Structure 1
Amino acid sequence: MSPIVKTELAFLHKIYLSECEFSKSLSKETIKSYNEVFNTFLKILPEVIFVTDVTPQVFSIFFKRLSTRKRVVGKDKIKVGVSMSTIATYYNKLIVFIRWLENNNYLEKYAVSNKIVKPLNPSYEDEKALSEMDITKITSTILVNTINNRFLCVRDLAILNLFIYTGIRKGELLALRVKDIDFEKRLIFIRGVTSKSKRSRYIPIHSDLLTSLKNYLKERKNLNFTSEYLVVSTKDDKNLTTHGLKFWVSKYVRLSGIKFHAHQFRHTFACSMAKNNADITSIMRVLGHSSFKMTERYLRSIRSEDSRMYIDKISF
């Protein structure tokens, strides 16, 4: 059993997160999500304080409370429970911490992790990818609402085009530097230190994106912006922040009437590649995934009905 009998769980989780950051080199976003899930775990289970309080039964209680608790969303709207996919996410982020506790002798080996009842895999019926009409509406919204601000127009179009033509993650977009764009070879370099997978990769630049980036950088130069970061704030010569990108998304959700989030562009890009006959290996590599399983999750928006054009081409 554990050499430390009454160690506070929150203290051990801080050690775990420190190891994730400095030994495993996980991204800040990943570590932030681990911390948010753990804090929710403690909030829903205030009776769990010490590592000795952690049992398989505790997780059954946690998932039950998570599925039935009431919470306020939006403008005083009451919502009960969470989706199956959210429960699966909580399980996946907590189970790695439990295994860490076992591997470091804070819990008996397999005493908890092997006895937790794993939630059912969620059945995804929703379409994560945006339609061509959705993209057209968002594009039109940018053009209409930036008509009096040339720089804002070309910058916002560049952000949209970077998302839909490369499928890059939010953090990767915000970390892009001007020198990461190779106009001669038509390649974008994604540095491993900015990527969730920690692997560097090159993404070919689509012709529409190429034009968009050139227009944006030309206008940026006219304003004498010199930031090394590609995407900058409209207020000063500094890189666009996570908060700034959230504002960008919420602004165009409100103005376009299309409910979307930044990560949906990644799904949209992956599905567009697949529908244009790209093989799954190519899609996996350009997205920066380490396994086909992850890539397949991004392609779930492709329905069986979408195979009509391929079936119609069959000839014997």
Structure 2
Amino acid sequence: MAEEEKKHFDIYIELFCNYLRSVKSYSENTIVNYRKDLLQFAEFCYKNWNISTISNINNDIIRSYLSELRLKRRMSSTIIRKRSALSSFIRFLEQKGFMQKGLVSFPKGFRGERKLPESFTKNQITNFLLFVKNQIKNDTNVFEYRDYVMIIFLSFCGVRASELINMKKNHIDSQNCIIKVTGKGNKQRLVPFPDDFRKDINCYIRLTQMNNWEFLFCNKSGKKLTRRGLFYILVKKVEKYPDPVHMHPHKFRHTFATLLLENGADIRMIQKLLGHESIATTEKYTHLDRERKKQLYAKFHPHA
């Protein structure tokens, strides 16, 4: 894209990103992804349609862009995110008067293939936690306890990776077995944790106080743990685990929701615990639970 055209798009994309940050309180990770998606769209407009200004965006361009994503066999979840980024960007431009309203509409009906999120079984969670706890060879080793407590909160509180690494010591109410979680849009929620882990969590908090950390989970330099650092720790734990499994922070969150649902929890309660703004986001677990049961039936029933 020529420098002037690129600059034109960049200005509005940065205005949009600043709006997401300051007004909508989106996470930095989401903003980074949206910016990347929109820059990709801007490049597509210039290369394929010779479009250099936002006022020239129309329905044909939108449909062409979404079709190209499908032809490139992008994952359904990726297409949905890129579509969401573009739709939000267009609405922002219309609301701020940068683009005439009604010029662009998005094709309905594309939701992507429904894919069952990976989750652990209850036994897998229990056994993995026991393994990580048994790795604690020294009661005064704050980092061995850190890894164990992080996995407790991921498994039994369903927190997002970004929520976990931003937790502070005063967010833990160990007397009542509750943690205060700050989620998307800086919205806070209270999530309980099992009383069985109170002693271990208290032990870890005492160790962190000796290190005078600002955040609950820090690296060896005393700085807040990053998402990359969290993922690295999980990978290293799995490498030592005798029963290797695919490990990702969000897989714990899916497991948390799935196990609650399987044990009869109310969908509204699950919504609050997960911090979903819309009940529709939580309801996907009810659909997925039904589909999982169908799969099990087809696999094991003799007349399926």
**In the TM superposition, what is the alpha-carbon distance from 1:121 to its structure 2 partner?**
1.5
1:187-266 equivalences in 2 (<5 Å): 187-190=178-181, 194-221=182-209, 224-233=210-219, 235-256=220-241, 257-266=244-253
**In the TM superposition, what is the alpha-carbon distance from 1:124 to its structure 2 partner?**
1.8
Question: In the alignment, what sits opposite 2:122?
Answer: 132
User: 5+ unaligned residues in a row in structure 1: which ranges?
Assistant: 1-5, 70-80, 309-316
User: 5+ unaligned residues in a row in structure 2: which ranges?
Assistant: 1-5, 297-304
| CA distances 1:272-294 after superposition (whole Å, capped 9, x unpaired) | 11122211111111111222111
1:11-160 equivalences in 2 (<5 Å): 11-47=11-47, 48-69=51-72, 81-112=73-104, 114=105, 116-118=106-108, 120-136=110-126, 138-139=128-129, 142-143=132-133, 147=137, 150-160=141-151
Alpha-carbon distance in 1 for matches of 2:44, 2:237: 34
Alpha-carbon distance in 2 for matches of 1:232, 1:123: 38
**In the TM superposition, what is the alpha-carbon distance from 1:143 to its structure 2 partner?**
5.0
Aligned-pair Cα RMSD in Å: 2.9
SS of equivalent to 2:186: coil
Which of 168, 171, 174 in structure 2 is aligned with 1:177? Answer: 168
| CA distances 1:183-203 after superposition (whole Å, capped 9, x unpaired) | 22222112xxx4204322211
Normalised to the residue count of structure 2, the TM-score between the two structures is 0.82
Q: Percent identity?
A: 25
| CA distances 1:229-285 after superposition (whole Å, capped 9, x unpaired) | 11121x133321223113223334544431232112111111111122211111111
Alpha-carbon distance in 1 for matches of 2:142, 2:7: 55
| CA distances 1:99-128 after superposition (whole Å, capped 9, x unpaired) | 22222333221111x2x3245212323233
Asked if the contact 1:167/1:267 (under 8 Å) is kept, the reply is: yes
2:284 is equivalent to residue 297 of structure 1:
yes
| CA distances 1:122-153 after superposition (whole Å, capped 9, x unpaired) | 23232332223442454355357665794333
Alpha-carbon distance in 2 for matches of 1:61, 1:254: 44
Alpha-carbon distance in 2 for matches of 1:38, 1:134: 40
Task: Provide the aligned length of Structure 1 versus Structure 2.
Answer: 285
Alpha-carbon distance in 1 for matches of 2:194, 2:135: 25
